[in-house]
Structure 1
Amino acid sequence: MYAIVRSGGRQHKVAVGDIVEVDKISTAKVGDTVELSTLLVVDGDAVTSDPWVLDGIKVTAEIVDHHKGAKIDILRYKNKTGYRRRQGHRQQYTAIKVTGIPAAAK
């Protein structure tokens, strides 16, 4: 059984026990439980994609860690003018462990 969930503007395929990196959930602390909205649930041959049914299904996950991703270097340069700008960015992520995917009601 697996589900497609939405978190932080992205969609992730998850199953129970998976550890997934999502954009930082700033309101949650390590050990807290969060609920993710479900877009699709696949249970064997049964595929549930009806939004009316999926409104009641929330995937539960536990916060494992908050960390930063790899550094991205941003360089801007214009020739013949001496214009140079250097900037870096590290995206903040939250690692979550999926603890439960409820079955869709038939």
Structure 2
Amino acid sequence: MYAVIQTGGKQHRVVEGETLKVELLKAEVGASITFDDVLMLVNGESIQIGAPVVAGATVTAEVVSHGRHDKIRIIKMRRRKHYRKQQGHRQWFTELKITAIAG
């Protein structure tokens, strides 16, 4: 059984027991979060596709940790114009462990 949920403007395919990193959520470590934005639910041969969400379907997850991803470099350069700009960015994330999928 798996589900497709939407959080942080992105869609994630989740399976029970899986850990994944999503955009930062305001929740304490160890807290339980319920996602109601379930776009698709698959249980064996049974497939439910929402319009836009599956009615009554929920995904429950536990917050494992918060952190930041590795730094990425943003470089802008114009050749022969003596212009070069460099910037770094580290995105915040929340690590979740999927505990239950209910449909």
> Same-fold call, TM > 0.5?
yes
Shift of the 83–30 alpha-carbon distance from structure 1 to 2, 3 Å rule, reads same
Structure 2 letter corresponding to 1:42: V
Structure 1 letter corresponding to 2:61: A
SS in structure 2 at match of 1:54: coil
Contact persistence 2:38–2:53 (CA under 8 A): no
Q: Aligned residue for 1:83?
A: 83
Any unmatched runs of 5+ in structure 1? none
Does 2:26 correspond to 1:32?
no
Q: Which runs of 4+ in 1 moved over 4 A?
A: none
Any unmatched runs of 5+ in structure 2? none
RMSD: 1.6
Calculate the TM-score normalised by the size of structure 1: 0.87
Structure 1 letter corresponding to 2:79: N
Contact persistence 2:4–2:13 (CA under 8 A): yes
After superposition, give the CA deviation of every residue in 1:35-87 in whole Å (9 maximum; x if it has no partner). 22200111111111143871321111011111111111111122333222110
Contact persistence 2:76–2:86 (CA under 8 A): yes
Structure 1 letter corresponding to 2:87: Q
Q: What count of residue pairs does the alignment treat as equivalent?
A: 102
Structure 2 letter corresponding to 1:46: S
